[in-house]
Chains A and B, each alone.
Chain A
């Protein structure tokens, strides 16, 4: 009976163009004939792996089945077809990074408030369900056809809750990594997602990534240069962290100088989200209750938020490296520079973490991207003057380390 079922389910979706290469397989656009809805289908390659359903994909399935919220990407359906597992997601037009990078878009304070509010709502829901996202960054915040922002890419997410549980600290793209993670903390909580959300808030205000470190050490340096080296009184537990090293004292800069455009309430919330001490850092729920959201101009209605113009329904070059879920919208800047980034800054090539399962594929794709990119990027240059440095995700050294840890770290643990 399952055979018949499978066919029927696969027939339910009318396959359209390929949107790109996802973190663990091809993604294509499709129409759900049952609902008329446009969807994005991720095809998870199984065949060549000796270990069945991709671990990262399985994590995403497991958590998304539990997380149903307007600000979290919806996993609509899943079905096997021709030996591959297919995941059906709601179709999303673009992502927050495309919004931030699009120089034709003006983000008003009310727009920023709206984007941040939706981000925090999604996070608050995850945290209420004891799920850490662990990979918050603008291109994992997808934007739907009516402007709704949704958290996506739960391939790194985990259930937390046991106070003594040890996790790997090699999570998040570096620029969004909280200082406790950079100091090697293995016991951490939802506050790591808040730090990343603060970086996203800052990025919305500045229209460029806020703390662009090119190594873990440099990342801490950048953080301290902005906010000042933390004093023990600000963060008592810091000196006990595994990789703690003393940094030379530098004074911080006033937030007002760093974010001249932001209002008082915005700065107050930002400072609470950037609190050094993870225990004292504001929670997603508290942040939503902050007066930034309740006073001053109200957040823009999602449907009225500025977004990049939708891309014309035309050839989406096969194998182009779109973020699978964001759909054919953004013309500039070329998104190749985001999800998979060639080595431009001279540091270790970046790799999206979830690509760790199929390195081979990645290499091939990377070189293809590099080719595509030159043409497109030159446009970007003329607009921006200087191109923002590539966004590091997780480098290959981290990656091996991570792979080892993610798969093995939890094995010898005692029952909880």
Chain B
């Protein structure tokens, strides 16, 4: 989106990492740890992406939906709003906000197709009810900026067109974390380019230096992403299941 990021609500709403990683009190009482919290959000981001694949929407819609979901849980507890309903509803709302509406009944169809587990089975009316609650939790701010647009321009400028696919994939992976709530999208794009250039042995220090951005911030984001890749290896289905089960009491 080319709209002006610096004057947008997205910019004004950027949070400190400490504000994002807070487990709400009632969730703590259920024994949900910060790791569980992150894991559940990751699991839900994957769920949104999987649903999106089925209903066929653009990546931008997926990214917006995940951002909504993550913003919701800054303000609401997992036990308050069931993530298994919040996730599809965020996709539903994002599809409307990004002007490529997906019908609620289509979503419900794929929810049932993807999950035999009753805990996931929500109906159209549940989604529509949750839509309103999500709007409220988002304080009605719906415009979200993403790294993708900056990415293609920056890659071109850095003469790194051949790494587009790799970098694009890294950007997609950043939505498994809360980065989009914390950092301006173009810095996330730069961090992904930075990782790609290290991986592919591209010498573009000069290019980075010419950019008028704080490279320390970019490097820190890059390190966060790499840390995530490391810890991601340890995530097993069992661990996710163990975290999810805490929601069911």
Binding site for B on A (CB under 8 A): 1-2, 5, 46, 50-53, 55, 58, 61-63, 65-66, 75, 78-80, 83, 85, 128-131, 158-162, 406-408, 410-411, 413-416
Contacts and interface: CB of A to CB of B under 8 A. Distances in A.
A51 B57 CA distance: 17
A52 B97 contact: no
Contacts of A53: 93, 96, 131-132, 135
Contact of B97 (A1, A62, A416): A62
Contacts of A414: 58
Contacts of B148: 415-416
Nearest to B99: A410
A161 B3 contact: yes
B58 A415 contact: yes
A4 to B, nearest CB: 13
Nearest to B132: A80
B132 A411 contact: no
Interface in B1-17: 1-4, 7-9
Interface string B101-112: 101110000000
Nearest to A411: B100
Given A410-B99, A411-B100, A414-B58, A129 B131 contact: no
A324 B199 CA distance: 59
B4 A129 contact: yes
A131 B131 contact: no
Interface in B155-190: none
Contact of B140 (A65, A129, A159, A410): A65
Contact of A129 (B7, B58, B127, B142): B7
B23 to A, nearest CB: 17
A415 B99 CA distance: 13
7 contacts: A1-B80, A50-B104, A53-B96, A58-B96, A129-B7, A159-B3, A159-B143
Nearest to A165: B2
B73 interface: no
B103 A51 contact: yes
A46 B124 CA distance: 13
A78 B136 CA distance: 8
A78 B101 contact: no
B8 A66 contact: yes
A410 B3 contact: no
Given A52-B128, A129-B4, A410-B100, A416 B140 contact: no
Nearest to A49: B128
B131 A52 contact: yes
B3 A61 contact: no
